[in-house]
């Protein structure tokens, strides 16, 4: 399913370079890092409601 | 007669009344006896009696009486200063599991339970295991935004439940182009609370569903242990995947670089990105100066 990446799109070109740069050094946080919920004191920004209604009876 | 034998007898009488359909009387009698236990500070007996009673009413589909007793149970938890532990949580979880999601005061019940777990537990927002049961129940009742909040603060199981909800919702929307709007929610919510692991878990599960379901053109990018899917027609999906990696790096230059490349197409995320900028990259939020407000709040002694 995956094909070799060709540099046909500026976005793809950016992504490849960006990922290469970002993974050059070890990340400050590991991929499985998580703040324990006991230490969570802020939930961030409330996200706006979606434009779509959810119908729980249809689910 | 020991209090336990007495309790067993009371419960047996109570059960008989329920089975006879004598709900009102059963409810009143149970409350009277429970009151007696509470007044003499026999909290364990009161808790056993009330929770068994609530369970019996749930089985008999008497939601009103059941939820009344759940509120009473929470009052006793509070009076007895019952701490959050496996037993105290399990009792609530079991009651919740049998509660009809269409129960009119479902939201008040779960809020009551969560407030107790905040007061007598170690998490500011309540117990994660309790949340993992509250979330799906609220979703079943149609309270999706409330459910979402509990999923975010839940367990590993909640991540799967959260994806299922978003996926179902996305399919209902009938708008293939809206994939990013749905995908962005868990990504931001988990990044907000410093949960990189769950952000990645969502990325994998939501996007593999999306790839399987849609015929969106995509390629896998795999570099130095980081994997993502590049979508030709979904810049927002690309951006959000890169955002996880960027937060993980805590590198402010990468953050600025990413934002400037996607400038314009990510305007709707400005307040979310501002928050992440502060949390992961130490970028101070610049508040517009409001001179009059500063003077007023200075005078009134508030912040």
- Residue B116, in any domain of the structure: yes
- Residue B265, in any domain of the structure: yes
Regarding an ipTM greater than 0.90, the answer is no
Q: Are B197 and B105 part of one and the same domain?
A: no
Tokens of B148: 């979402």
Q: Name the residue in chain B with its Cα closest to that of A17.
A: B223
Q: Which of A34, A50, A57 sits opposite B198 (nearest CB)?
A: A34
- pTM attached to this predicted model: 0.90
Q: Which domain holds residue B230?
A: 156-302
* Model pLDDT for residues A36-55, shown as the tens digit of each residue: 999 999 999 999 999 999 99
Q: Which of B191, B197, B247 sits opposite A32 (nearest CB)?
A: B197
In whole angstroms, what is the distance from residue B246 CA to residue B121 CA? 33
- Residue B126, in any domain of the structure: yes
Q: Are B116 and B232 part of one and the same domain?
A: no
Domain end residue (candidates: B110, B128, B154): B154
Q: Are B222 and B115 part of one and the same domain?
A: no
Residue B260's Cβ-count burial label (10 Å; 0-12, 13-18, 19+) is exposed
Q: Cβ–Cβ of B194/A11 closer than 8 Å?
A: no
CATH code of the domain containing B232: 1.25.40.10
Question: Looking at the complex, does the CB of residue B169 fall below 8 Å from at least one CB of chain A?
Answer: yes
Q: Are B170 and B192 part of one and the same domain?
A: yes
Tokens of B229: 């899917």
* Model pLDDT for residues B188-241, shown as the tens digit of each residue: 999 999 999 999 999 999 999 999 999 899 999 999 999 999 999 999 999 999
Tokens of B288: 């517009």
In whole angstroms, what is the distance from residue B270 CA to residue B112 CA? 34
Domains of chain B: total: 3
Domain end residue (candidates: B82, B104, B130): B82
* Model pLDDT for residues B28-72, shown as the tens digit of each residue: 999 999 999 999 999 999 999 999 999 999 999 999 999 999 999
Q: Name the residue in chain B with its Cα closest to that of A55.
A: B142
Quickly tell me which residue has 């009698």 as its tokens.
B29
Q: Are B126 and B237 part of one and the same domain?
A: no
Q: Are B170 and B297 part of one and the same domain?
A: yes
Q: Are B166 and B288 part of one and the same domain?
A: yes
- Residue B268, in any domain of the structure: yes
Q: Are B133 and B19 part of one and the same domain?
A: no
Tokens of B173: 């929307």
- Residue B87, in any domain of the structure: no
In whole angstroms, what is the distance from residue B7 CA to residue B158 CA? 37
* pLDDT at residue B234, as a whole number: 97
Given its phi and psi angles, is residue A45 left (phi above 0), alpha (psi -120 to 50 degrees) or beta?
beta
Confidence of residue A6 (pLDDT cuts 50, 70, 90): low
Q: Are B105 and B50 part of one and the same domain?
A: no
> B219: helix, coil or strand?
strand
The shortest C-alpha distance from A8 to chain B (Å) reads 11
Q: Cβ–Cβ of A37/B125 closer than 8 Å?
A: yes
Q: Name the residue in chain B with its Cα closest to that of A32.
A: B197
Q: Name the residue in chain B with its Cα closest to that of A4.
A: B219
Q: Are B233 and B127 part of one and the same domain?
A: no
For residue B295, pLDDT beyond 90: no
Contacts of A16 in chain B (CB under 8 A): 221, 223
- Residue B24, in any domain of the structure: yes
Contact between B237 and B266 (Cβ < 8 Å): no
Domain end residue (candidates: B82, B111, B136): B82
Contact between B175 and B149 (Cβ < 8 Å): no
* Average pLDDT score over chain B: 94
For residue B303, pLDDT beyond 50: no
Residue B288's CB is within 10 A of a number of other CB atoms, namely 5
Q: Cβ–Cβ of B261/A18 closer than 8 Å?
A: yes
Q: Are B64 and B100 part of one and the same domain?
A: no
Q: Cβ–Cβ of B181/A51 closer than 8 Å?
A: yes
Identify the weakest region by mean pLDDT among B17-21, B162-166, B245-249. B17-21
Of B76, B59, B65, the C-alpha closest to B29 is B65
Q: Are B77 and B10 part of one and the same domain?
A: yes
Identify the weakest region by mean pLDDT among A7-16, A20-29, B206-215. A7-16
- Residue B204, in any domain of the structure: yes
Tokens of B226: 């980081």
In whole angstroms, what is the distance from residue B198 CA to residue B242 CA? 15
Tokens of B245: 């990696």
- Residue B241, in any domain of the structure: yes
């Amino acid at each position: 399913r995956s094909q070799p990446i060709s540099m046909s799109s500026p976005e793809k070109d950016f992504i490849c370079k960006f990922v290469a740069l970002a993974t050059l050094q070890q990340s400050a946080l590991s991929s499985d890092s998580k703040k324990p919920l006991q230490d969570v004191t802020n939930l961030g920004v409330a996200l706006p409601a979606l434009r779509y209604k959810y119908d729980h009876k249809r689910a | 007669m020991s209090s336990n034998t007495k309790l067993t007898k009371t419960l047996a009488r109570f059960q008989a009344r329920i089975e006879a359909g004598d709900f009102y009387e059963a409810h009143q009698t149970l409350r009277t006896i429970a009151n007696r236990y509470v007044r003499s500070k026999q909290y364990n007996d009161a808790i056993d009696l009330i929770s068994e009673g609530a369970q019996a009413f749930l089985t008999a589909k008497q939601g009103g009486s059941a939820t009344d007793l759940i509120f009473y149970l929470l009052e006793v938890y509070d009076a007895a200063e019952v701490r959050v532990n496996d037993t105290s949580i399990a009792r609530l979880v079991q009651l919740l599991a049998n509660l009809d999601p269409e129960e009119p005061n479902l939201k008040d019940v779960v809020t009551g339970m969560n407030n107790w777990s905040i007061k007598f537990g170690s998490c500011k927002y309540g117990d994660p295991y309790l949340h993992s049961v509250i979330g799906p129940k609220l979703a079943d009742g149609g309270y999706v935004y409330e459910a979402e909040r509990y999923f975010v603060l839940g367990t590993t199981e909640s991540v799967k439940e959260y994806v299922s909800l978003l996926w179902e919702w996305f399919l209902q929307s009938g708008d293939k182009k809206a994939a990013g709007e749905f995908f962005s929610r868990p990504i931001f919510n988990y990044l907000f609370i410093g949960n990189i692991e769950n952000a990645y878990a969502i990325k994998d599960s939501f996007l593999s569903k999306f790839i399987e379901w849609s015929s969106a053109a995509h390629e896998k990018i795999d570099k130095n242990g980081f994997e993502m899917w590049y979508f030709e027609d979904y810049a927002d999906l690309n951006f959000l995947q890169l955002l996880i990696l960027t937060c993980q790096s805590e590198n402010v230059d990468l953050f600025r670089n990413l934002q400037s490349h996607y400038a314009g197409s990510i305007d709707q995320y400005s307040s979310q990105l501002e928050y992440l900028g502060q949390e992961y990259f130490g970028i101070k939020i610049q508040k517009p100066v409001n001179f009059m407000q500063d003077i007023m709040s200075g005078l009134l002694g508030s912040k």
